[in-house]
Amino acid sequence: MVNTASRSRRRAPGNTQERILDAAEALFARKGYQATSVGEVAGAVGIRSPSLYNHFRNKEALYRAVLERLLDRFAAPMEALAHGPITEERLLDWLDTIVRMHHANPNLARLLQHAALSGGPGTGELIERFFRPMMMRDPRLEQPGLRALGESGLQPWAVMAFNNLVMSYVTMAPMYRDLLGQDPFGEEALERQLALVRTLLLAVLRFDGAAGAGYPPSPTPSGIDEKR
Amino acid sequence: MVNTASRSRRRAPGNTQERILDAAEALFARKGYQATSVGEVAGAVGIRSPSLYNHFRNKEALYRAVLERLLDRFAAPMEALAHGPITEERLLDWLDTIVRMHHANPNLARLLQHAALSGGPGTGELIERFFRPMMMRDPRLEQPGLRALGESGLQPWAVMAFNNLVMSYVTMAPMYRDLLGQDPFGEEALERQLALVRTLLLAVLRFDGAAGAGYPPSPTPSGIDEKR
DNA sequence: TCAAGAGGCGCGATTATTCACACTTGGCCC
DNA sequence: GGGCCAAGTGTGAATAATCGCGCCTCTTGA
């Protein structure tokens, strides 16, 4: 479908727009929206910043394009989990899928984390499009253990917890790199993270009544400085 | 000369240095090191940026002072957990404590998250002083379920997971504020988070064999307990 | 009277963005 | 083929704003 008949001269090795998006994604993910300069992005691509404006109206448009591309990448696999009854093994599948997605492409989690901390353009849409769908109280919880979850009103909290668990692995990984003595994004680490997360889910499901409000109102260990 | 305009009493409640630290902490926590300008900090305090240099040598020194103060606040309660044998209920206490600490003062978690994503001054020290101590393979695991954890080499991974879980609650909370229909930093939310996290820990401890050996897609080729 | 601390001024660098301009193309007419 | 133009994509120079930060003066509480 793509012609690209003649080999480009010394001009553009590939689609510049795509290369800008790649570079911008990496930089926005690492430094956030504000701390990333368009000159930096341009430099990473190998052009000067004014040239970048031939492809994107401004910095914000570039950022939104990056977001859009990332959300699209995640949309399809998530959609697949959206139909049919929810069983234990389907929950495991869901976990498995998002762990692998974030592992294979950590930048969405990083951008979401930046947005959660600092805000920035499009944060509202981000919430609506990425978080809202997975937080809606789901009437499809059919198994007894799962139904308890849904009816106790705990479901969104549990979803949040597991989602945080998965995303923070990606966003905090650099901190643990040395401590673990293993590349957090290697194959072996992925398997370990998968096993751990799966174990947690199974454990909490089996635990059952767990969800119930039957928890002692916290013993309050030692003094914790409140804000003055 | 004439432009006096006669400001209000310039005697502030506490000394200016403290107020600068407060403002800087809030801003660094929200926007990160690079994206925060000293003018912004000064503005929040109610002074001009050159005045700020009467109290801190430069931006980096200010940032490090903020870090220092935060680490100090967390040091004492953490220290309390550092001695004696580790039992199930002591683990629960530990979780309880750090959840409450982060809840009462979310800024350390936010700064750590920024540092994990973008680096910045003092990131190395942050790792050594905050993460290293809690990641060291602990010989004090005495209960059978816990011993399995330690000997399987899974301990650091489990610690990381629970720490991530607690910290990401703080750093991601803004995203969920609307979705949960509740202030994530209110009293009620704290209790809920405490119950959830405690349930998770108990569940995974009870789950036992949890170590992961029994999981199909996780071969776990053994022998990872080596430390680099 | 004195020093701590606040503010005005300003330098040099960097920011996002615009503009005028060069060059390389593919397509079209002759 | 050659001539020609429009579109696309690159550039350096220039804009105004903001950045971190040093210098120097003035106010103020002790």
- Between A41 and A224, name the one with better pLDDT: A41
Name the CA dihedral angle for B85, A226, A156, A152, rounded to a multiple of 10 degrees. Answer: 80
Predicted pLDDT at A1 = 33
What tokens were used for A108?
């969405």
Q: Band the pLDDT of B4: cuts 50, 70, 90.
A: very low
Give Rg (Cα) of chain A.
Answer: 22
Q: Which of A112, A160, A163 to mutate to test the interface with B (most CBs of B within 10 A)?
A: A160
- Chain A neighbours among B 37-96 (CB < 8 Å)? 73, 77, 80, 93, 96
pLDDT in tens, B5-14: 333 334 445 6
Structure tokens at B111: 């700064």
- Cβ atoms within 10 A of the Cβ of B121, count? 15
Write down all domains in chain A, each with its CATH number in brackets.
Answer: 67-211 (1.10.357)
Match 């793509």 to its residue by tokens: A2
Round to whole Å and give the CA distance between B153 and B175.
34
Phi-psi group of A223: left, alpha or beta (phi > 0 → left; psi -120 to 50 → alpha; rest → beta): beta
Q: B-chain residues within 8 Å CB-CB of A175?
A: 112, 115-116, 126-127, 131
B 9-38 residues, CB < 7 A, strand D? 9-11, 36-38
Does residue A171 surpass a pLDDT of 50? yes
**pLDDT tops 70 at residue A157:** yes
Covered bases, chain C (protein CB within 7 Å):
4-10, 14-20, 24-26
Q: Do A203 and B207 touch (CB under 8 A)?
A: yes
